[in-house]
Amino acid sequence: MQIITGIILAIVVAALAWKADALSTSGGVAAAITGGLIFGLGGIAWAALLLTFFISSSVLSRGFSRRKAALAEKFAKGNRRDWGQVLANGGLGAFLAVGTLTTSQPAWLWLCFAGAMAAVNADTWSTELGVLSPTPPRMITSGKQVEQGTSGGITLAGTLAALGGASLIGSVAMLFKPDPAWPSHLGLIILAGLLGSLFDSVLGASVQAIYWCDTCGKETERHPIHTCGSQTRQVRGWGWVNNDVVNFACSLMGAILAGGIWLLLR
Ligand SMILES: [Zn+2]
């Protein structure tokens, strides 16, 4: 019954998001599958975290659109999320949801999922709100001041936004799965989310593939063709590490930290 309800709910949410232009067609299909697994197998608490991430990040990516329009070209993709972005943010969660089919249903599995969702939510909040920072970002690795929108650049505003995004996921997790040890669980989820999003910035500053457009004289994540129509060439990072790979690694780091620290300290 839960599985059927979950699948129907996931299809309805994905269809609404597709209709609202928050998801491309491939993104809608991917969201229906990952959402169906998470809602159907994980149940209400898992569904609550995925929906909190999905709704809050969609609202934030729509907000302040005029101020962000100038930066849109820097990012690899626009506001409509495709299947790669959906799997990068929710793929690990869907995989963990399959783990609930085991009879033991260990506590660390839920914490891994909450940590993964906290990390991707923190990362999305810092990306969407960090662009509003009054001060220019600094590279997380070198501390050097960089242009707004540069992969690997962080600001105080963006880091506080990450803390907010992780805290929201942690709070919703405590609301739907109350536990006598809730303060430590909440702290763990927030820490995992914040560190996961900072890990995302470290990857953005080091191994993520970054390109250069000779026509515009600008750094970009877009490849092979820039928004202006010119070819871009790689200037740093590894070719296969695109934004989706980095986001997936961010969710993996959040999951490993939340589940791992809990296992170490219990
Ligand atoms: Zn260009």
Q: Ligand 1: distance of its center to the CA of 74 in Å? A: 10
Q: Residues 132, 206: contact at Cβ < 8 Å?
A: no
Determine the pLDDT at residue 72. 56
CA angle 88, 38, 26 (to 5 degrees): 45
In the chain, beta strands by DSSP E: 138-139, 153-154, 210-213, 218-220, 232-236
Length of the chain: 266
Q: Residues 232, 220: contact at Cβ < 8 Å?
A: yes
Determine the pLDDT at residue 1. 82
Q: Ligand 1: distance of its center to the CA of 93 in Å? A: 36
Determine the pLDDT at residue 14. 95
Determine the pLDDT at residue 79. 67
Q: Ligand 1: distance of its center to the CA of 231 in Å? A: 8
d(CA 74, CA 147): 10
- For 262, the token pair is 């809990």
Helix 182-205 vs helix 107-130: crossing angle, to nearest 10: 50
- Report residue 126 CA to chain centroid gap: 10
Determine the pLDDT at residue 48. 97
Sheet with 210-213, edge to edge strand ranges: 218-220, 210-213, 232-236
Q: Ligand 1: distance of its center to the CA of 217 in Å? A: 7
Q: Which residues are placed with Cβ below 5 angstroms of ligand 1, an ion? A: 213, 215-216, 226, 228, 230
pLDDT by residue for the chain (266 residues), tens only, comes to 889 999 999 999 999 999 988 899 999 999 999 999 999 999 999 999 999 999 998 888 877 766 666 665 555 556 688 999 999 999 999 999 999 998 787 889 999 999 999 999 999 999 989 888 999 999 999 999 998 888 899 999 999 999 999 999 999 999 999 888 899 999 999 999 999 999 999 999 999 999 999 998 888 888 889 888 999 999 999 999 999 999 999 999 999 999 999 999 98
Q: Residue 124 contacts by C-beta under 8 Å, 6 or more apart in sequence?
A: 53, 56, 57, 60, 61, 89, 165
d(CA 179, CA 182): 5
Ramachandran region, residue 238 (left: φ > 0; alpha: ψ -120 to 50; beta: rest): beta
Determine the pLDDT at residue 8. 95
Q: Residues 189, 49: contact at Cβ < 8 Å?
A: no
Question: pTM here?
Answer: 0.92
Determine the pLDDT at residue 150. 87
Q: Ligand 1: distance of its center to the CA of 220 in Å? A: 9
d(CA 68, CA 71): 5
- Cis omega (within 30 of 0) for bond into 224: yes
